[in-house]
Structure 1
Amino acid sequence: MIFKAVGHGRPYPEHGFSTPRDWAAVPPRQVRLDELVTTKSALDLDHLLAEDSTFYGDLFAHVVQWRGVLYLEDGLHRAVRAALQQRPVLHARVLVLDD
């Protein structure tokens, strides 16, 4: 299994980070793919196969840690690409939300 679970939607509260500039304040770190719960169940193959898929966005995936669980909010195509290349980790910006 690639991910810990495949989720549908964001179970955590709104965090206010909506632009790349907001996320830029969160330092990237490595996250294991098998620790991630996705917030999307569908993947756009155009994004997965595009060579310039990160050209206009953040180079790092966006992950929200809430109640001890890591939710992959943005970057599903990056995570699947890493898995296809047999890499068990992904570089992501992890926003920690407290209850």
Structure 2
Amino acid sequence: MIFKRVGEGRPYPAHALEPRDWAKIPPRQIRIDQLITTKDTLHLAALLDEDSTFYGDLFAHVVEWRGDLYLEDGLHRALRAALHQRNILHARVHEVGD
């Protein structure tokens, strides 16, 4: 299994982070098998597009809530890493309290 669990939606409280706020969080390494996805579908074009991060963040966005890591943005990056047999993803992790 690639992910800890495939989720559907965001179970954690809204955080209202803007892209510039995410950019202030330093990236760190996260094991892909510890991530819970917030999307259960992927657009194949996003996975195959070499320039998929041209206008976006180079790092995935992960929300840590109640001890779990939720992959909010970057599903295509995580799958691409897994397809290259890497088990680590560089991500920006935001901790959300209750």
TM-score, scaled to structure 1? 0.97
State the match for 1:40 in structure 2. 39
Partner deviation per Cα, 1:47-75 (whole Å, 9 max, x = no partner) = 00001000100000000000000000000
Per the alignment, in what secondary structure is the counterpart of residue 28 of structure 2?
Answer: strand
Residue 81 of structure 1 aligns with which residue? 80
- How far has the Cα of 1:6 moved from its partner? 0.1
**1:94 Cα deviation after fit:** 0.2
Aligned to 1:12: 12
What number of residue pairs does the alignment pair up?
98
CA RMSD of aligned residues (A): 0.6
For structure 1, the 5+ residue unaligned runs are none
Please state whether the residue corresponding to 1:2 is helix, strand or coil.
Answer: coil
AA of the residue aligned to 1:74: D
What amino acid sits opposite 1:16 in the alignment? Answer: A
- Of all paired residues, the percent bearing the same amino acid is 71
Task: Give deviations 1:18-61, integer Å, cap 9, x for gaps.
Answer: x3212011110000000000000001111000010001000000
Structure 1: 4+ residue segments shifted above 2 A: none
Q: Could you state the TM-score of these two structures normalised by the residue count of structure 2?
A: 0.98
